[in-house]
Amino acid sequence: MPAISFEFYPPKTDEQRDLLDRTAKKLRTHAPEYVSCTFGAGGSTLSYTSETVRHLAQTHGFDAAPHLSCMGGSREEIRELLRLYRALGCRRIVALRGDLPSGMARMGDLRYGSDLVAFIRAEHGDHFRIEVGCYPETHPQAEDAFADLRHFKAKIDAGANAAITQYFYNPDAYFRFVDDVRRLGVDVPIVPGIMPISNFSQLKRFSEACGAEIPRWIGKRMQALGDDVDGIREFAADLVAAMCRRLLDGGAPALHFYTLNLAKPTQSVLARLA
């Protein structure tokens, strides 16, 4: 089994907390290298993120990495968060530019992901292993594909240790991206972000928002399966597992699963890779 990691989001209700605990317990058996925890827009869930990181580490025994965004935040706010995460025992940060929260007028003191990486390094040296994001199918807000590659290289040059991709369903996009950044001199691990398919209509909404392309044939096959829930689950797990196998065979160093706090879709894929 390859090195794997899981992404969770911070629960806000008792029901969501129970779900996360059940999911974490099930996925713990797969011995992930680490787990990451997302943040909410506008600072609304910053406390939820730190509480969740603490819970995942102390209750479930994970090496838990918080996501950290520079959007809308001051240097002092980010400095305080870094101190908090260091005090919690975190040795890994997922550093992202993030999106400007709705209704917030200012960008924040740090504008780009590369600025955030440089700030973490300046404040804490090599204490944190820093993962950054990248977009094999090009960031939806990038001026063009080449500018996107340059922005990504700037994050690595600023001190990032590795990258996690946005999810995709076209492995060739990943391989092309890796080839492109290697030609620019980037040699850090680039880990594919994997989105198991649990709810196709939800996935379509996510994908439109983040610029991830769902190949037409996948949509057509899902449409053909109609209300056959079991058939859809089997097809989805087979599809994502086959993609994972191709990525690993092609040299991907690990797999990072976007779980959406659900165990079964990810477990179904992992069972096919065992």
Q: In whole angstroms, how far apart are CA 218 and each of 71, 179, 204, 225?
A: 34, 26, 11, 11
59 alpha carbon, distance to own chain's centre: 22
Q: Which two tokens stand for residue 88?
A: 């919690």
Alpha carbons within 13 A on the beta-carbon side of 274? 9
Alpha carbons 142 and 224: distance in angstroms, whole number: 35
Contact 27, 267 (CB under 8 A): yes
Question: Is there a contact between 169 and 214 (Cβ–Cβ < 8 Å)?
Answer: yes
Give every CB contact of residue 113 below 8 A, 6+ residues apart in sequence: 70, 95, 96, 97, 132, 133, 151, 155
DSSP letters along 118-177, please? HHHHHHHTTSSEEEEEE-TT--TT-SSHHHHHHHHHHHHHTT--EEEEPP-S-HHHHHHH
CA–chain centroid gap for 82, Å, is 19
**Annotated catalytic residue within 7, 33, 131, 213:** 7
Q: Say what angle helices 145-157 and 171-183 make with each other, to 10 degrees.
A: 60
Q: Is 234 a catalytic residue?
A: no
Element (H, E) at 36: strand 34-37
Residues identified as active-site:
7
